[in-house]
């Protein structure tokens, strides 16, 4: 099957042999570069990821003769399964789509590649961003070093990672004032993830600003529900009047995740149905 057709299909409708097909493309150095890049992106989907695909992705990451773009995409595809295994591995090992041995191997390999100064910067950034989804002790020093870098891209990586690695409350609050919109966005997400009460005034400011920066607003909606859920209910309820379905849906999802249903008065508004 053509890879672009797979990309346009829900992954649960992919053919049963999709995993083997993706692995074959990833391991074929003579395959079209764009096909290998797309295969690397698709390989991280939960419906296909396996020990074999994870091994193929790791092999690409470690190969110095592979393009930086492909190596970066390969490592990013390992992120979702790392996070899932870190959260659920010991609760229900029968549900795991990769083995515990492969999980540990991915962690060890990514740490080793990150510590290798010969690995291109872009690949090292993606390694750090991916590996923190299953946090380990070494991440704190790596994130701290990235944050104090004079390079904006490393600082962006650091703030993203702070959403997964604890102990950086002060840095997250500081990053909320960044003039870099990407760093600002990641700081809002990180503040929400850790429920940082000190970020509340800033989150309210973002919510009051409305839809001028939609991605930032969506991040603030989620953050508000985790930081001060009781106060967030009333503020977020007002956003149900939005004509933007993404914003309305984000409000419902945020309040559901915070396990605080909105008051009945908000559900009775004209836009109560999400299409």
Condensed to tens digits (0 to 9), the pLDDT of residues 83-134 reads: 999 886 656 666 678 999 999 999 999 999 999 999 999 999 999 999 999 9
pLDDT score of 92? 65
Judge whether 181 lies within some domain: no
Judge whether 27 lies within some domain: yes
Burial of 273 by CB count in 10 Å (0-12 exposed, 13-18 middle, 19+ buried)?
Answer: exposed
Alpha-carbon dihedral angle through residues 228, 233, 222, 151, given to the nearest 10 degrees:
-50
Judge whether 97 lies within some domain: yes
Domain that holds residue 98: 1-136
Backbone angles phi, psi at 269, to 5 degrees: -75, 165
pTM of the model: 0.90
pLDDT score of 261? 61
Judge whether 86 lies within some domain: yes
Judge whether 22 lies within some domain: yes
Q: Pick the range with the lowest mean pLDDT from 34-43, 137-146, 204-213, 253-262.
A: 253-262
């Amino acid at each position: 099957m053509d890879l672009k057709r797979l990309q346009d299909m829900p992954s649960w409708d992919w053919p049963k042999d999709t995993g083997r097909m993706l692995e074959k493309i990833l391991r074929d150095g003579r395959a079209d570069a764009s096909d290998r890049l797309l295969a690397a992106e698709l390989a991280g989907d939960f419906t296909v990821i396996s020990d074999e695909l994870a091994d193929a992705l790791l092999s690409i990451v470690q190969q110095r003769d592979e393009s930086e773009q492909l190596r970066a995409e390969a490592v990013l595809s390992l992120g979702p399964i790392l996070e899932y295994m870190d959260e659920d591995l010991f609760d229900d090992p029968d549900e795991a789509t990769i083995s515990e041995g492969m999980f540990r191997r991915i962690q060890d390999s990514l740490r080793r590649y990150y510590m290798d100064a010969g690995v291109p910067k872009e690949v090292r950034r993606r390694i750090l961003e991916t590996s923190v989804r299953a946090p380990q002790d070494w991440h704190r020093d790596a994130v701290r070093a990235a944050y104090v870098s004079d390079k904006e891209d490393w600082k962006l990586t650091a703030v993203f990672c702070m959403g997964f690695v604890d102990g950086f409350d002060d840095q997250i609050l500081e990053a909320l004032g960044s003039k870099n919109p990407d760093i600002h966005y990641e700081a809002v997400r990180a503040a929400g993830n850790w429920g940082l009460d000190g970020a509340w005034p800033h989150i309210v400011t973002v919510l009051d600003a409305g839809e001028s920066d939609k991605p930032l607003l969506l991040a603030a909606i989620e953050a508000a529900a985790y930081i001060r859920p009781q106060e967030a209910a009333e503020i977020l309820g007002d956003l149900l009047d939005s004509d933007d379905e993404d914003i309305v849906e984000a409000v419902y999802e945020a309040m559901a995740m915070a396990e605080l249903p909105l008051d009945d008065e908000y559900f009775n508004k004209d836009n109560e149905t999400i299409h």
